[in-house]
Amino acid sequence: MTGRLLAGVLTVVLAVWLVLLWRGLHHSLWFDDSYMFYRYAFNVRHGLGISWNYDAVHTYGETALLWGLVVLVLSYLPMNASQVLILGSWLCSVGAVVAMAWAVRSATEPEQRGLGGWQVMALLAVPLVLVDNFRYHARSGMDAMLGVALCAVFLAAALLWARGRIAPEIASLAGLLLYATRPEGAMIVVLVPVLMVLVWRKGSLAGLARLLGTFVACIAVELLLCKLYFHTVLPLSFYMKSRNGYEGYMRYWHPTFQLGEFLAGCALYLAVMVWAARRQDARMLSVFVVPVLCMAVYLNSVLQIMNDCSRYYLPYLPLLLVPALVVLDRRMGDGMGWWKLHATHGLALRLVGLACLVLLCWPGLRRRVALAVDRTIERKQYAYDPVVLQTAASGKLPVMQEIWKTVPDQIFATLPAGATVASSEVGYLGARLQSVNVIDLEGLNDTQIALQGFRMPDLLERRPDAIWMPHPDYTWQRGVMMTDPEFLRQYELYRDAALSGIAIRRDSPYRAQLEANLQKSYPGVVIADSLVTAASWSGKKHVVVDTE
């Protein structure tokens, strides 16, 4: 009877998840960065290798090479870019639940288990349907769900190795897959087996040496291959962030707040650990919880641009869900009923822990605390004064709807193959204009800018036909670009066009059609009145005031 009930519950959950997929496939994907993977897949299919542009220069812009491979495979389906990316995320979300269930089953011997396979699946799937972050990334088109699935696969492999069921080399290869999706996942691949041997007393030192040795050797080979293929060892985003590539970037992303969002989504499972764990579970729990804490510290030290809905934290969801269900599985295996899961010792401390989790789930309080912490621990963030642009028009141009789609669809869509545009928003733009060369002004998909930094003479030498100016958040780059005398001589800059400004090269063979497209995008407005006649910039820096 219980099996049928759980099968029915899982059927309902799957139906809800299918509705989520159906709705996603009938609406355009909103996560602009995800479209970059589709452009890479398109170029691979056309014999250009892993390249951003039609010059076939291999570009290490994909931070998750394995996700790029998934998108490449799915791109052969008769679907558009948005549908391919959403389908990929959705399939990985299903795989993540299955992989976490496998990890739970891998932790104990059959005679120690108190939960059936259907029960484990239900205890994973039902709560996750209600978690906003999980639902969001199940159709975000990014690599987050693949990261969740592969983190769970690695945990399952590590647990099986610790129990002597598989060779350590297999676990290390599973870890390599996680690393190929989320490079910082190497921290998990190292910490988890080390803690298994040194703290949990599972596995052997010889096996640990083989596991880590294989993993390090595979990474060394991977780095060598990347150097030979891309001429860079690491993704371009690493070079951009490590050399102050985001000088003058004025937006906060609040890593502690995003961490709080992530933990709130895990609150039910954290409650199980707090309430049902026993002293003999402490060593096992440390294997999973300590790496989570280390990863949280690391992620709070990096610039988390586009960390919507805890995207950087979510891949490590199994590190909290799997041990919670292992604790529950073992308690049930000991013959405990659902109403007797709590341990008698430390009851007061457990109640305090549960109270803290309740506060964690209180959105208003969590937000205030997290923002206060972020303001305390974050280094001061500096931005530059805005550029002062003079035009004949006294007011600003109307705000476009869905700018990230409107500009490629209306202004740049008529550009022929071989034309070149430059922009800071290149995801949908690159996927939509597949035969047009796109210069990523932020260097995430441009080796020259990533390695040498942004320099205006270099950009002008590449002669883009049009430039969609950097987003207003990039205060330093906008100042450098808009006040460059040679830039103003070579380009016509339309202030506020597409929010950031559109510049068209005066001697471009496509100037007339670009100007016509721009005018059509602003009916009832004389677009020529927005031409910039002069620009000035103080170049002064100031501390960014967080208004959230």
Predicted confidence (pLDDT) per residue in 206-257, tens digit: 999 999 999 999 999 999 999 999 999 999 988 887 766 678 888 777 778 8
- By the 8 A CB rule, do 105 and 157 touch? no
Radius of gyration of the chain (CA): 26
Mean pLDDT of 306-313: 81
SS3 531: strand
Beta strands in 396-516 (DSSP E): 420-423, 437-440, 466-468, 491-494, 502-505
**Which residue would you say has higher pLDDT here, 79 or 302?**
79
**Per-residue pLDDT tens digits for 370-419:** 777 766 766 667 889 999 999 988 888 888 888 888 999 999 999 999 99
Are 307 and 237 in contact by the 8 Å Cβ rule? The answer is: no
The predicted structure's pLDDT at residue 158: 97
Between CA 351 and CA 17 the distance in angstroms is 34
Which pLDDT band, with edges at 50, 70 and 90, does 177 fall under? Answer: very high
Per-residue model confidence as pLDDT tens digits over 440-470: 999 999 999 999 989 999 999 999 999 999 9
Phi-psi region of 320 (alpha: psi -120 to 50; beta: other; left: phi over 0): alpha
Rounded CA-CA distance 171/174 in Å is 5
Phi, psi dihedrals of residue 535, rounded to the nearest 5° = -140, 140
Q: pLDDT band for position 3 (50/70/90)? A: low
What type of residue is 469? M
Instruction: Answer for the pair 203, 186: CB distance below 8 angstroms, yes or no.
Output: no
3 state SS of 548: coil
Average pLDDT, the chain: 89
Q: Could you tell me which of 530, 543, 387, 407 has the C-alpha nearest to residue 467?
A: 407
pLDDT in the model for residue 491: 97
Contact of 504 with 491, CB cutoff 8 Å:
yes
Asked whether the predicted pLDDT for residue 187 surpasses 60, the reply is: yes
474 touches 428 (CB < 8 A): no
Residue 510 pLDDT > 70: yes
454 φ, ψ (degrees, to nearest 5)? -80, 125
Encode pLDDT of 473-502 as tens digits. Answer: 899 999 999 999 999 999 999 999 999 999
Question: Quick check: helix, strand or coil at residue 383?
Answer: strand
Q: Are strands 388-390 and 382-384 parallel, antiparallel or unpaired?
A: unpaired
CA angle 450, 452, 454 (to 5 degrees): 75
State the pLDDT at residue 548: 57
Measure the CA dihedral 354/301/289/118, to 10°.
80
Asked whether the whole model's pTM tops 0.85, one would answer: yes
Q: How confident is the model at residue 366 (pLDDT cuts 50, 70, 90)?
A: confident
pLDDT tens digits along 332-348: 777 665 545 555 567 77
Q: What is the pLDDT of residue 378?
A: 61
Q: What residue spans define the domains of the chain?
A: 31-376, 388-543
At residue 260, the pLDDT reads 85
The pair of three-digit structure tokens given for residue 243, joined into one six-digit string? 């050399």
Q: Which amino acid is at 359?
A: L
Compute the distance between CA of residue 445 and CA of residue 133 in angstroms, rounded to an integer. 27
Please report, as a single letter, which amino acid is at residue 474.
Answer: Y
**Sign (positive or negative) of CA dihedral 423, 425, 428, 430:** positive
Token pair of 399 as six digits: 């705000």
DSSP 126-153: HHHHT-HHHHHHTTS-SSHHHHHHHHHH
pLDDT band at 1 (very low <50, low <70, confident <90, very high): very low
Residue 28 — pLDDT band, cuts 50, 70, 90?
confident
In the predicted structure, residue 85 carries a pLDDT above the cut 90: yes
Task: Tell me what pLDDT residue 61 has.
Answer: 94
DSSP string covering 230-269, please?
A: HS-SS-HHHHHHHTTTTTTB-----HHHHHHHHHHHTHHH
Distances (CA, A) of 329 to 215, 323, 346, 402: 31, 10, 21, 48
Q: State what percent of residues in the chain have pLDDT above 90.
A: 62
Q: How many CB atoms lie within 10 A of CB 198?
A: 14
Angle at 82 between CA 262 and CA 511, to 5 degrees: 120
* pLDDT exceeds 60 at position 64: yes
Phi, psi of 498 (to 5 degrees): 55, 40
